[in-house]
Amino acid sequence: MAKYQGGCLCGAVRYRTNATPINERVCHCRLCQKALGAAFNARSLFRIDDVTIDGPVATVNSSPDLKRGFCPGCGTTMFSRRDSAGIIGVTSGSLDAPSVFKPQMHMWTASKQPWVQLDDGLPQYEGAPPPN
């Protein structure tokens, strides 16, 4: 069984990977807030080639280089991907076992909702984090 696996609410779309995440971050930018309908996007980043997705997926470009993937049946957002960089970020809420998500930082905290309290001791960046 894959360590990271999940899918949509209706079960039409499933994804899985045995890869170790490149990173795990919580993004507070307004694009993520709008796309997920939530205060933030907690996501695990992988190489696209390491993630298998089964089932029908619809995408929308939320910015020129970022596609958001969701189930066309139930609307569950499951990932965002940058094809030019070869990376895909799966949403922690769509994981079968969301407790495997271990965030390493918060980014775009300048757009964090005022009622979200960040007291977990993780690094915080007002914008994009510095490159690795």
What pLDDT is recorded for position 76? 96
Any domain includes 119 = no
For position 85, which CATH number holds?
A: 2.170.150.70
> 85 lies in which domain range?
4-110
pTM, to two decimals: 0.92
Determine the 3-state secondary structure of 44 from DSSP: strand
| C-alpha span between 126 and 57 (Å, rounded) | 32
pLDDT in tens, 51-86: 999 999 999 998 889 999 999 999 999 999 999 999
The residues that bridge with 70 in the sheet, in sequence order, are: 58, 77
Determine the 3-state secondary structure of 90 from DSSP: strand
Number of domains in the chain: 1
Any domain includes 73 = yes
What pLDDT is recorded for position 131? 80
Any domain includes 57 = yes
Q: How far is CA 126 from CA 36, 53, 130, in A?
A: 20, 32, 11
Best CA proximity match to 100, nearest among 10, 12, 29, 20: 20
**For the chain, which ranges sit under pLDDT 70?**
132
